[in-house]
Amino acid sequence: MLHRKSSFCKCPAAFASPSRFFVRWRVMTFTQHHSTAQLDDHPRRRYYSGGNLDRVQSIEDLRARTHRLMPRLVLEYLEGGSGEEATLARERAAFADWRFVPHTLVDEHDRSVARDILGREAAMPLLIAPTGLNGIMRRHADIALAQGAASAGVPFVQSTMSNERMEDVAKVKGLRHWWQLYVFGGNEIWQSLVDRAHDAGCEALVLTTNSQIFGQREWYARTRMNQTMPSVPTVLNAAAHPRWIATTLNRGMPDFANVIDYIPKDKRGFFQSAFWIRSQMPKTLSWDHVARIRDRWKRPFFLKGLLHPHDIRRAMESGVDGVILGSHGGRQGDWTVSALDMLPTAREIVGDSMALYMSGGIRRGTDILKAVALGADAVLAGRAPLYGLCAAGADGVAKALDLLRAEMMNELGQMGAKSMDSLNPDILVRARDLPLQLPKSAVGGQG
């Protein structure tokens, strides 16, 4: 997943000094792109991995810079999935199963990708997904994500496992702040987090339902000697990333600022805390918890991590305001369907009765258009804004969101559609059903 095949340049200048050799090798290893537009890999194509955001063309460029700047420990945490990473792969592949059938000769001059999220206009139907441990990517990462979201006009969902106090994140100007809840430990912990989220002005609460048993993320585990100690190669690799050390670890490892007080004093180291919290997640999380949280939290309440139609029906009866389909970015159960696979069925089930969001694999504006056309009210993006964060902090997050929005605007026009509400499944066809065999009546044939 992390490595692309190296085709190291034979140019003698590359060998001129060991440091030049090293820099060149790293840049080329991580930034190559292969496509049908090339003949035998020619012309040689590389993603832009430099620091000038004006030159960044797509999320893949931000990802290339992320791979250049971040040590292996961070990359395996950020990129990796569980088990064979089959769910992770499906989350991207599911988008490739769908092709647009565009309209043309449509007046496109006043098209818009804006959409209502909880009754307020957002710049596009997207939220920054909750992600934990962001503090190992950059210091004050959660503030940077919140600033990027606020400047792009979309909500930010802060994770229970974030590294910045929710009260501090709430101070970001113009932010639409949501809180993601993990239930762990005794009831008093979730109750206090819910009350704090209320007092901090969070607009909505998201209960993550599919992470009580931690996914088998074996590639991430391979970076450590044991639960709490990185392996020697991991430490050496981290030491070779001075810029990461300077922007991230200048004041030591981050902590889990929102829950640190609940963690026993001798387990407050970074890795110890993470494992302790995981060990405290009740395996009995149930619809009963959902009812109790619903009782306490009076603002919009979402369940995250559902895929099975039965659970979606059950969610409707539980009084929540919406569901977020997803598989935790391929980090929990392996070999599951992706959220996109389940969208049409989920929309059929929920009708207009509650909000339907999805997360998993969003890297392009076209991904968001496909998700909306298949029934999503909005999508959550996890890694895409994180690549922006790793590449350039809050500016990088804003750039990632701008790119997605600009791609959506362009592609919406290319499809001959004018607004999010005008998208529906008619504009898509499953690649496996091509070539299309329509009945003559459907194309207005004369017989």
Active site residues: 328
State which residue, 135 or 360, has the beta carbon closest to ligand FMN. Answer: 360
CA distance 290 to 282: 13
- Structure-token match 């030591």, residue found: 252
Other CB atoms within a 10 A radius of the CB of residue 446 amount to 4
CA angle 413, 418, 420 (to 5 degrees): 110
Residue 220 CB, nearest distance to ligand FMN (Å)? Answer: 10
| CA nearest neighbour of 342 among 354, 329, 360, 319 | 360
Residue 136 CB, nearest distance to ligand FMN (Å)? Answer: 9
Residue 132 CB, nearest distance to ligand FMN (Å)? Answer: 3
Q: Closest CB to ligand FMN belongs to which residue? A: 382
CA distance 135 to 10: 39
Query: Residues interacting with ligand FMN, by CB under 6 A?
Result: 77-78, 91, 129-132, 159, 161, 180, 208, 304, 326, 328-329, 331, 359-362, 380-383
Residue 72 CB, nearest distance to ligand FMN (Å)? Answer: 15
State which residue, 80 or 375, has the beta carbon closest to ligand FMN. Answer: 80
Residue 78 CB, nearest distance to ligand FMN (Å)? Answer: 5
Q: Which residues contact 389 (CB under 8 A, 6 or more apart)?
A: 134, 137, 138, 141, 144, 145, 148, 396, 397
Q: What DSSP character marks residue 436?
A: P
| CA nearest neighbour of 346 among 335, 334, 357 | 357
Structure tokens, 190: 């979730």
Q: Percent helix, strand and coil across the chain, each rounded to 5? A: 45, 10, 40
Helix ranges, 116-214 (H): 141-152, 166-169, 187-199
Q: Which residues contact 179 (CB under 8 A, 6 or more apart)?
A: 157, 158, 160, 166, 193, 197, 200, 202, 204, 205, 206
Residue 433 CB, nearest distance to ligand FMN (Å)? Answer: 26
State which residue, 65 or 331, has the beta carbon closest to ligand FMN. Answer: 331
Using H for helix, E for strand and C for coil, what is the string for 180-198? EECCCCCHHHHHHHHHHHH
State which residue, 147 or 208, has the beta carbon closest to ligand FMN. Answer: 208
Residue 128 CB, nearest distance to ligand FMN (Å)? Answer: 9
CA angle 291, 294, 297 (to 5 degrees): 155
Other CB atoms within a 10 A radius of the CB of residue 286 amount to 12
Residue 332 CB, nearest distance to ligand FMN (Å)? Answer: 9
**Residue 408 near residue 386, CB atoms below 8 Å:** no
**Residue 416 near residue 102, CB atoms below 8 Å:** yes
CA distance 179 to 169: 11
**Residue 324 near residue 359, CB atoms below 8 Å:** yes
State which residue, 128 or 392, has the beta carbon closest to ligand FMN. Answer: 128
